[in-house]
A and B are shown apart, each in its own frame.
Chain A
Amino acid sequence: MEQLMADLKRQIIEALNLKHLTPAEIGDDQPLFGEGLGLDSIDALELIVLLQQQYKVKIENPQDGPKIFRSVRTIAEFITAHKPA
């Protein structure tokens, strides 16, 4: 889980062009949207693409986004639970 979260932070910075941040500046449980990292709806769509490309995990309903993308930890948990064997 720790490794997965570290990977995710790197990948999120890369995919979402958060060049003002380093992985260490993103907390495991820090909210990614709204007051936290300030991500928006387009970022959420990019995260869907990221999960599909990097982890072969599909999110069919974008409405599930906010729950899954709450923090790096919730994303890691979702990947772990849904990753194809």
Chain B
Amino acid sequence: MVRGQQVYVAGVGVISAIGHTAGETLHALQQGTSGIGRLTLFPSAYQDTLPVGEVSLSNEALTERLDLRAHAVPPRTALLGMVAARQAVDQAGIALAAWRCGLISATTVGGMDRTESFFPAFLEDPGAGHLRDLVHHACGNVTELMAEDLGIHNFISTINTACSSSVNAIMYGTRLIAQGMLDVVVAGGADALTKFTLNGFNSLKILDSAPCRPFDAGRNGLNLGEGAGYVVLVSERVRQQLQRPLLATVAGFGNTNDAYHQTASSPEGRGSYAAMTGALTMAGLPVEAIDYINLHGTGTVNNDLSESTAIQRLFGEHVPAVSSTKAFTGHTLGASGGIEAVFSVLALTEQCIFPNLRFEQAMPETGIVPQRTFARAAVRHVMSNSFGFGGNCSSIIFSTSPARA
């Protein structure tokens, strides 16, 4: 168990390529509708060659949806974050002002989209460009814009540990509540698609020119996506006041460094193995108790082999149902852990397991066959994996809320 008092999930919010709300998202997961398609957000040399998972709302549409009155348009990352975080808070039905409240948010690109619109003119002429575009570049500014939007003032923190950032944000929020330092924490992450990441990941040669095929023997890279996912974490005291069953509990988590390479995972997945082991130990659960693993499953040759090797070594004869939902959303980088935490909670509340799209053939090294169709199942404990550049490996376990079970 997490040291200290029990921590509950009271609300979830998500926006990604497969939906603008948790309800739309669940529908797409159920129908097997992928969000991977043509890039339309910004002009790019890769418009027709590199598919992505775009949120189908322009910045103007997002601003309108949020009914924002601010004179400067916030970066897209902040807009996506606000949409998801507001949903989560609404679902939780908590008057935030009545509690010691925190926002812990993860992002890797921050306000990069604004910086990109600033830079071309600036490079031609240092006197050109609008400096206000740069003000929101820093990752922390996105969190501050969101905190203001949500009306959270007690505690604000920004985490960036690459693609595991969001899970680390949820871990941090859980610890603060478990130790009695805060009552309510909105935790998760947001990242918008940018030229910066598209060109960068392309230079690493790990983008698939077709829709990605996580855990497939023929997988050939990832698709970038965008979005945001947040959970509202609450203490026992808040739960008692709410007097209704909550969505889930945070049962355990683990974070380790693979200490192998800046971008590549160790072939045997020693960091991911240690993170999953740590999460199980904290949760006090045997491997047999896990009903579903939402994989990191990016679709790169390296990640999927490393992750499946670690899973096979850890779970042995008891490999549970597994799937990567990145085939639906693309890899949303700093947001992925938050989005997939929401999916994990949905698996518990809806008692279902999501399919791993486009899977045809198991990789010969491990033979792990992921879940291929949407299935109703008894789901009590879900593990969600998120691994990032810099060797950062996180694994978190959500369990059915006791009152609900």
| Interface residue ranges, A against B (CB under 8 Å) | 40-42, 45, 48-49, 62
Contact = CB atoms under 8 A, between A and B. Distances in A.
Q: Determine chain A's interface SS by DSSP, over half rule.
A: helix
B204 A45 contact: yes
Contacts, number: 14
Nearest to A40: B261
B3 interface: no
Interface in B198-224: 203-205
A45 B262 contact: no
A41 B203 contact: no
Contacts of B262: 42
B243 to A, nearest CB: 54
A45 B201 CA distance: 11
Interface string B13-52: 0000000000000000000000000000000000000000
B263 interface: yes
Interface in B267-311: none
A22 B203 CA distance: 27
A42 B205 contact: no
* Most chain A Cβ neighbours within 10 Å, of B203, B205, B261, B264: B205
A48 B202 CA distance: 13
B205 A62 contact: yes
B261 A45 contact: no
A59 to B, nearest CB: 10
Contacts of A62: 205
Nearest to B205: A62
B298 to A, nearest CB: 15
A62 B205 CA distance: 7
A26 B205 CA distance: 27
Nearest to B204: A45
A67 to B, nearest CB: 16
Interface string B245-269: 0000000000000000111100000
A40 B204 CA distance: 12
A44 B261 CA distance: 14
A49 B203 CA distance: 9
A53 to B, nearest CB: 12
14 contacts: A40-B261, A40-B264, A41-B261, A41-B263, A41-B264, A42-B204, A42-B262, A42-B263, A45-B203, A45-B204, A45-B205, A48-B205, A49-B203, A62-B205
A45 B264 CA distance: 13
Nearest to B264: A41
Contacts of A41: 261, 263-264
A38 B262 CA distance: 15
Contacts of B203: 45, 49
